[in-house]
Amino acid sequence: MHADNPLIVQSDASILLETHGPRAAEARAALAPFAELVKSPEHVHTYRLTPLSIWNARATGLSADAMIRALRDYAKYPVPENVATDVRELAGRYGRVVLSQEGCGLRLSCADRPVAERLARDKTAGPMLSRRLDDRVFEVEPAHRGALKQALVAAGFPAEDLAGYVAGDALDVRLREACGSGAAFQVRDYQREAAETFYLAGSERGGSGVVVLPCGAGKTIVGIAALAAVGQTTLILTTSLTSLRQWRREILEKTTLSPDAIAEYSGEQKATAPVTLSTYQVLTWRPNRAADFPHLALFSARAWGLIIYDEVHLLPAPVFRVTAELQTKRRLGLTATLVREDGREGDVFALIGPKRYDVPWRDLEDRRWIAAATCTEVRVAMSPGLRMEYALAERRAQFRIAACNPGKTAVVREILTRHPEGRVLVIGEYLEQLEDLACVLGLPLITGKTPQAERDHLYDAFRHGRVQRLVLSRVGNFAVDLPDADVLVQISGTFGSRQEEAQRLGRILRPKADGRGASFFSLVSRDTREEEFGHHRQLFLTEQGYQYKVEILDAADARPLGSMESDVVRAPKGSQMEALDASA
């Protein structure tokens, strides 16, 4: 027994991390590349080993021995042998099945005959293995490349795809040595490494996969570096028109491409060029639910050599279906988190590619490439009348009642008072709540109904300091380039979405010129399901090493917020807890 070690590895492949141990932070960092955080209460966090977490780790070069060594180095008790065996078995499955080019067709090669027999008899993968060439090798129709890879992941034998790519039209593009303002422009070391790890000098082992970096760390620069490395016609898919135009600005500023080499395929204009930018919303538009998706034809509009999927964790189902048919194109996914609330991480792995590069958020914070951030959960009481309404409501309606607790308005006002010089974003889920808040506090509001020209005007005013505070709906979740924002107040969210929590924190992680940190406040209603969902939302950021301080408020007290420095502060007036606090 190693008493100071914080891990307890259990035979069911779950791992317990005692968070207060002297080596807890080291153990968390060692686990993160190959284990998934499941629960994170105060004292003991629970991780689990999954096939996908291990295969993604293998794709980044982490060996089975390194994973087992990490478990043993930090384990309080001996690691069960079955866990070590399972890690080796799962890690060993990555690369045991290989797709390669053979003339005009494809072949699937298995490491041994038992694997080949299992796949030949698999009800989904088997029918796509068109002809058996020998004991271990099958012929495969090129049209089945994507669907077969999905089936192989489901069967537990992910394919290493070495079938290569069809070249797109050549594109003469280079990175500038200085940006448009004349300032020096340098790709950071981790951005360059991410692009190079994706491309691998054009070999068949590179060219498809996902780069995971926190918001504010420059994922767009990684995409631009990959664009320059590939040097072929490129289709870039983004989450919104705002994001699309940010990509355009960055490409024009940081590459040698001229404006006429970049086109926008959006709701406002339908043009293509050697570099074409579009949005998921446009691609998945259709006149009615029974109709086809007319704009998916964009995928075949040109001989694309590279497709970049920004915020790949949001990829909609119709784009997945098309991507299954685009396996001859190089594909780069960019995201802050591989978490998908619909559970389709396996499809990202199979169709876009495995995780190729990942950097812990805290590492970049330590190097000052992203701002240091403090996270605070503020628990706000509801009035007696609202508590009764909540108690009598249907289960689904309860969440909205809690999320729209009017007591949160006073808390937002106090946070604004506490940060008079702050560049503040207030973000939420429910339009009526946001409209009321913006009206009461006299703040400009941006929602999905706000015309694009007005959005652009307000974002520009915020960037240049003419507006210091904005209220945003979920349109602010993704790819809004507001580098000076340093305070974010989340008043409501999408149930327990871990990806949304990460994206919202990311809105304030751009490093500040004066080195100041960032403050993230999540407001939840006390003694409601919103607390439960809030805990689940925090899982991904907890995995990255962030800790949430908790402040408990009684909304009926006209008492201002505390310093936000305590783990848990304030109790209602007159309570026993308040007396204990006072005596302490």
Quickly state the pLDDT bin for 184 (edges 50, 70, 90). low
- Mean pLDDT rounded to a whole number for the chain: 89
Whether residue 430 is contained in a domain is answered as yes
d(Cα 348, Cα 5) in Å, to the nearest integer? 35
Find the mean pLDDT for residues 487-497.
90
Find the mean pLDDT for residues 567-571.
34
Quickly state the pLDDT bin for 479 (edges 50, 70, 90). low
d(Cα 94, Cα 55) in Å, to the nearest integer? 6
Q: Which of 359, 388, 406 is the C-terminal boundary of a domain?
A: 359
> Do 337 and 391 belong to one domain?
no
Whether residue 168 is contained in a domain is answered as no
Residue with tokens 């002809």: 131
Residue range(s) defining the domain that contains residue 437: 366-583
Q: What is the pTM of this model?
A: 0.85
* Distant-in-sequence, close-in-space partners of 316: CB < 8 Å, separation ≥ 6: 280, 283, 284
d(Cα 378, Cα 569) in Å, to the nearest integer? 10
First CA to last CA across the chain, in angstroms?
Answer: 37
> Do 149 and 244 belong to one domain?
no
Burial of 392 (0-12, 13-18, 19+ CB in 10 A): exposed
Whether residue 340 is contained in a domain is answered as yes
Find the mean pLDDT for residues 447-460.
92
Helix (H, G, I), strand (E, B) or coil at 275: strand
d(Cα 473, Cα 462) in Å, to the nearest integer? 16
Instruction: Determine how many CB atoms are found less than 10 A away from the CB of residue 245.
Output: 18
**pLDDT for residue 180:** 52
Whether residue 543 is contained in a domain is answered as yes
Whether residue 180 is contained in a domain is answered as no
Q: Kindly report the backbone phi and psi dihedral angles of residue 198, in degrees, each rounded to the nearest multiple of 5, phi listed first.
A: -65, -50
pLDDT at 578 over 50: no
> Do 378 and 524 belong to one domain?
yes
> Do 347 and 287 belong to one domain?
yes
d(Cα 278, Cα 237) in Å, to the nearest integer? 5
Whether residue 175 is contained in a domain is answered as no
Burial of 456 (0-12, 13-18, 19+ CB in 10 A): middle
> Do 222 and 136 belong to one domain?
no
Quickly state the pLDDT bin for 181 (edges 50, 70, 90). low
Residues 57-77 have pLDDT tens digits of 998 889 999 999 999 999 999
Residues 296-345 have pLDDT tens digits of 999 999 999 999 999 998 899 999 999 999 999 999 999 988 888 788 89
Residues 377-386 have pLDDT tens digits of 999 999 999 9
- Distances in whole angstroms, Cα of residue 556 to Cα of each of 164, 553, 560, 571: 64, 9, 11, 12
**pLDDT for residue 183:** 52
Give me the helices (H) in 379-430, please: 384-392, 395-403, 407-418
**pLDDT for residue 566:** 35
Q: Which of 359, 392, 421 is the C-terminal boundary of a domain?
A: 359
Whether residue 183 is contained in a domain is answered as no
Residues 419-429 have pLDDT tens digits of 999 999 999 99
> Do 147 and 199 belong to one domain?
no
Residue with tokens 């009764």: 388
Sequence-distant contacts of 512-515: CB under 8 A, at least 24 apart: 512/371, 512/483, 512/484, 512/486, 515/368
Are the CB atoms for 282 and 295 separated by under 8 Å? yes
Find the mean pLDDT for residues 81-93.
96
Residue with tokens 């309606």: 397
> Do 284 and 395 belong to one domain?
no
Residue with tokens 């709701």: 267
Residue with tokens 């100071």: 4
> Do 220 and 330 belong to one domain?
yes
> Do 344 and 217 belong to one domain?
yes
> Do 321 and 295 belong to one domain?
yes
pLDDT at 39 over 70: yes
Q: Which of 328, 359, 390 is the C-terminal boundary of a domain?
A: 359
Domains in the chain, number: 4
Find the mean pLDDT for residues 348-373.
91
d(Cα 527, Cα 243) in Å, to the nearest integer? 38
**pLDDT for residue 23:** 93
> Do 288 and 405 belong to one domain?
no
Kindly report the CATH number assigned to the domain that includes residue 117: 3.30.70
> Do 202 and 303 belong to one domain?
yes
Residues 389-406 have pLDDT tens digits of 999 999 989 999 999 999
pLDDT at 162 over 90: yes
Kindly report the CATH number assigned to the domain that includes residue 545: 3.40.50.300
Whether residue 198 is contained in a domain is answered as yes
Q: Which residue has the higher pLDDT, 117 or 539?
A: 117
